[in-house]
Amino acid sequence: MASPDELPLRPELRGRSPYGAPQVPAAHRLNTNENPFPLPAELLADLGAALGHAALELNRYPDRDAVELRAGLAEYLSRTSGEAIGPRQVWAANGSNEVLQQILQAFGGAGRTALGFTPSYSMHPIIAAGTGTGWADGHRRADFTIDAEQAAAQVRDTAPDVVFVTSPNNPTGTAVALETIGRIYDATTGVVVVDEAYAEFARAGTPSALTLLPGRPRLIVSRTMSKAFGMAGLRLGYLAADPAVVDALQLVRLPYHLGSLTQAAARTALAHTDALLATVDAVKAQRDRIVAALPVMGLTSVPSDANFVLFGHFLDQAKAWQALLDRGVLVRDVGLPGWLRVTAGTEEETDAFLTALGEIAPDHR
Ligand code: PMP
């Protein structure tokens, strides 16, 4: 079998490995920031009926513009942010990864550059490479926060076409102040994408960038149903922006990109938003429990507004990762020296994680 590198592959893809967390069997899988709670029974029942109904029309192409679904998403965003967001401001695709890819197809591409503040979601540079977009690393402080002044200066110097701001940030959990996002926006003529995949887990007083949308036609806020909604398997991501952004994305989206079963399932899920999001407080409580337990073990964490915690410091995080796995707990080594990332989930998962961590901490910190 030939390796991809022996094929006439695009040079920027040569030698790369596909993205993905190592899928290692473990009793407690706390490595991909999923929501561990099962879907509410009444949603499951409604899903069966809705999918059965949608299946009757599977000989037809889906609604290309997902009008009903976008109206439901707009209603959810308006209700939770207090910002009036209309259906023409919302766009949906198969996971927010596809939303981000469409953004780069429309606003990035050959000869253009995207900038993101590293360390952040590692798919941003990968999607940039896949769309032929150049990449620039923006700086963070040692505590992983973004200095507004420095960020704006760097954006001005680099003149990127697309700026990614992940808030709350993956893998650090760090939320970005709205004022910083505003400063970054003012420093660029490109589009600014605030990736809010984890927004629903933010602590009180950490507002969404949705409130910045009025008067900022180059600002895009992306969201997903994979995390707080607990529907990672559905593959439903979406964004809110000026209607002109949505019109631009329709130039690059594949026709009928969002299947009718996906649209039906997502619409049904939105009708059960309150029951679905009832798990968010439970997850946040486990996150805060992890944060509180770490100092007792001589460890520390980065303040988190997400459903995960970046924790350390370890002498060698790869060895600490293996020691936790040996005790049945799978966390994520994101390649940051001294740090590991753990997903907050059920109380039982936190029990198992903290017990294992207590055992290994003395040998690894
Ligand atoms: N953005 C961030 C910051 C993420 O961490 C993830 C998932 N790991 C995504 C986007 C993509 O999520 P999805 O495609 O499932 O919506």
Query: What's the pLDDT score for residue 52?
Result: 97
Q: Is residue 211 helix, strand or coil?
A: helix
CA distance 129 to 115: 12
Q: What is the whole-number distance in angstroms between the Cα of residue 275 and the centre of ligand 1?
A: 22
The residue to mutate among 34, 99, 123, 166, having the most atoms of ligand 1 within 8 angstroms of its beta carbon, is 123
User: Is the model's pLDDT at 106 over the cut of 90?
Assistant: yes
Q: What is the atom index within ligand 1 of the atom nearest the CA of 96?
A: 16
- 254-279 pLDDT tens trace: 999 999 999 999 999 999 999 999 99
Q: What percent of the chain has pLDDT over 90?
A: 94
Atom of ligand 1 nearest to the CA of 97: 14
**What is the Å distance from ligand 1's center to 127 Cα?**
12
Structure tokens at 187: 């420093």
**Encoding tokens for residue 109?**
């591409």
Measured in Å, residue 165 CA sits from the centre of ligand 1 at 13
Residues 139-163: tens digit of each pLDDT: 999 999 999 999 999 999 999 999 9
Per the CB < 8 A criterion, the answer to whether 304 and 310 are in contact is: yes
Q: How many Å lie between the centroid of ligand 1 and the Cα of residue 124?
A: 10
Q: What is the pLDDT of residues 71-97, one digit of tens each?
A: 999 999 999 999 999 999 999 999 999
Provide the ipTM.
0.99
126 lines ligand 1 (CB under 6 A): no
Q: Cβ(242) to ligand 1 under 6 A?
A: no
The pLDDT confidence band at residue 13, using thresholds 50, 70 and 90, is confident
Q: Which two tokens stand for residue 211?
A: 């409130």
Name the residue with the closest Cα to ligand 1, atom 1: 197
Predicted pLDDT of residue 18? 85
Alpha-carbon distance values, 84 to 29, 81, 358 (Å): 38, 8, 47
Tell me how far the alpha carbon of residue 96 lies from the centroid of ligand 1, in angstroms. 6
C-alpha 324/C-alpha 128 separation (Å) is 33
Smallest CA-to-CA distance from 306 within 334, 268, 338, 326 is with 334
CB distance 197 to ligand 1 below 6 Å: yes
Instruction: Provide the pLDDT confidence category of residue 312 given band limits of 50, 70 and 90.
Output: very high
Q: Which two tokens stand for residue 360?
A: 């290994």
Tell me: pLDDT of 22 over 90.
no
307 lines ligand 1 (CB under 6 A): no
Domain ranges of the chain: 22-39+274-364, 41-271
Q: 22-39+274-364, superfamily in CATH?
A: Aspartate Aminotransferase, domain 1 (3.90.1150.10)
Local structure of residue 204 (DSSP, 8 states): T
CA dihedral 259, 261, 263, 264 (to 10 degrees): 160
Of 175, 189, 243, whose CA–CA distance to 214 is shortest?
A: 243
Nearest to 208 by CA among 71, 33, 82: 82
DSSP 8-state symbol, 166: E
- Give the nearest ligand 1 atom to 33 CA: 8
Q: Give the ligand 1 atom nearest the CA of 225.
A: 16
Domain 41-271 part of CATH 1.10.10.1100:
no
Residue 61: the pLDDT is 98
Distance of CA 133 to the CA centre of its chain: 20
How do residues 192-211 score in pLDDT, each as one tens digit? Answer: 999 999 999 999 988 899 99
| Tokens 């009757």 belong to residue | 56
pLDDT at residue 228 is higher than 80? yes
Transcribe 260-315 into DSSP letters.
HHHHHHHHHHHTTHHHHHHHHHHHHHHHHHHHHHTGGGT-EE---SSSEEEEE--S
